[in-house]
Amino acid sequence: HPCIRGNVIKLKFDTEDEAKGQWEYNICNNEVAAQVLGLTVNSQASDPRVPPIVVEPYMSTDSSSFPNPVIVYAVVTQGFSPVLGLNVTAIIEPENGRIRTLQLLDNGAGADIIKNDGIYSKYFTDFSGNGRYGLKVRVESKSKTAKLALPKNQALYLPGYVENGAIISNPPKPKVTTDELNLGDFTRTASGVAFRVTEVPSGPLPDVFKPGKIIDLHAIFQGQQVSLSWTATGDDLDKGNASRYDMRMSHNREELLDNFENGTVVDTTDLIPLPAGTMEIFSFTPQNITIKNGTVLYFVLVAIDKVNQMSEPSNLAKALLFIPPDPRSNSKTGAMVLLILLAVFFTTGVVVLSVYCLIRKKRQY
């Protein structure tokens, strides 16, 4: 239903639920000269009982000075539930017009603290000058990748309660489990608050940002080998590729925590760091170490960039080799123990009976 007011044309579409998804609208310029056109699309939920998908972009600070990085966040929710599996792009425009784009992630690595909580984030370090920077975030769901994480149990957890003046602790909080509901294809765009940056040097920026800390290092024994996995960090925080890794291991966890360099060096020469945000997997066989049931090894990892800046040591990963006992040997052992016990009981019974008979015989005389 077109409505013309001056130079503004307003179109209204009455749609059914089946019409949800991607829409295309073509505009034809009948004039010879090019024309500037602004287009705004507003929509509302077809069902008032279903909350809309909302995007809330914001920055870690509204002002910063070089070389302090800032973090870009985008919270995507439907009601109180996070929306997962999205392609989230931050568009940052400084005063000089040199637009920068960032791919925001919800993977629990780099600037992102918790995986799959609906908060997408990324460090921003590509400053192009002093002044004001604008923020816009575009969210896309294609090929039905978006999922709504609905907690199965929405009851409020209380860590404890007070009874007769004493604090009574409840059992530990159970692990959160979710039902994932597909949301189909959609796009959202939202503008965030602007932020200001000062003290940016002129010319090429110096390489002052070291690789980000790896926070999800995991280790597990697979036979005589140890398999480690982690999310790759970048050359500058969570951007780009690190140049190499330095991995250390030890039987003593305090040795690695107190002084990383005291640990035994793990050969990672053939390990080429992947782009930031990618899952890394590395397996090796420990040398000069006797691997047996109950062996425990601790690991810490550091990323190094092209100018030899080192990240902070990663979280401590523990690998424990546990070989469960053979059930057949257990059954044989149990049978042997049972036979020994029966023999002991039988022998004891014979001895007791013999002593009883001797005492009774003596009394008769």
Condensed to tens digits (0 to 9), the pLDDT of residues 337-350 reads: 777 877 777 777 76
Kindly give the residue spans of alpha helices, DSSP state H, lying in the chain. Answer: 253-258, 327-364
Q: Average pLDDT of 255-260?
A: 86
User: Which pLDDT tens digit goes with each residue over 79-129?
Assistant: 888 998 899 999 999 888 888 999 999 988 888 888 888 999 999 988 888
Name the strand (E) or helix (H) holding 142.
none
User: Which pLDDT tens digit goes with each residue over 294-308?
Assistant: 889 999 999 999 999
Partners of residue 4 on adjacent β-strands: 9
The string of DSSP codes covering 251-262 is S-HHHHHH-GGG
- pLDDT, residue 214, reads 92
- pLDDT, residue 219, reads 93
137 with 88: CB under 8 angstroms? yes
Q: Average pLDDT of 214-240?
A: 91
- pLDDT, residue 299, reads 94
Q: Average pLDDT of 163-184?
A: 69
Model confidence at 6: pLDDT above 60:
no
- pLDDT, residue 258, reads 86
Report which of 124, 131, 143 is spatially closest to residue 74, judged by C-alpha positions: 124
Report which of 175, 288, 286 is spatially closest to residue 227, judged by C-alpha positions: 286
266 with 247: CB under 8 angstroms? yes
Residue ranges of the chain assigned to CATH 2.60.40.10? 218-320
Mean pLDDT, rounded, of the chain:
82
Report the distance separating Cα 351 and Cα 346, nearest Å: 9
Q: Name the CA dihedral angle for 338, 343, 348, 351, rounded to a multiple of 10 degrees.
A: 170
Percent of the chain beyond pLDDT 90? 29
Report the distance separating Cα 244 and Cα 322, nearest Å: 32
216 with 132: CB under 8 angstroms? no
- pLDDT, residue 133, reads 92
Looking at the domain 218-320, which fold is it?
A: Immunoglobulin-like (2.60.40)
Class of domain 52-153+176-198: mainly beta
**Confidence band (pLDDT; 50, 70, 90) for 4?**
very low
Model confidence at 176: pLDDT above 60:
no
- Selected residue with higher pLDDT from 13 and 227: 227
Model confidence at 359: pLDDT above 80:
no
Residue ranges of the chain assigned to CATH 2.60.40.1930? 52-153+176-198
Model confidence at 8: pLDDT above 90:
no
Q: Average pLDDT of 126-133?
A: 89
User: Which pLDDT tens digit goes with each residue over 136-149?
Assistant: 999 988 766 778 77
Model confidence at 35: pLDDT above 70:
yes
- Selected residue with higher pLDDT from 231 and 145: 231
- pLDDT, residue 155, reads 63
- pLDDT, residue 344, reads 74
- pLDDT, residue 244, reads 93
Which residues does 112 contact at the CB level (< 8 Å), separation at least 6? 105, 106, 119, 120, 121, 122
Model confidence at 175: pLDDT above 80:
no
- Selected residue with higher pLDDT from 328 and 97: 97
- Selected residue with higher pLDDT from 354 and 33: 33
- Which pTM value belongs to this model? 0.70
Cα-trace Rg, the chain: 33
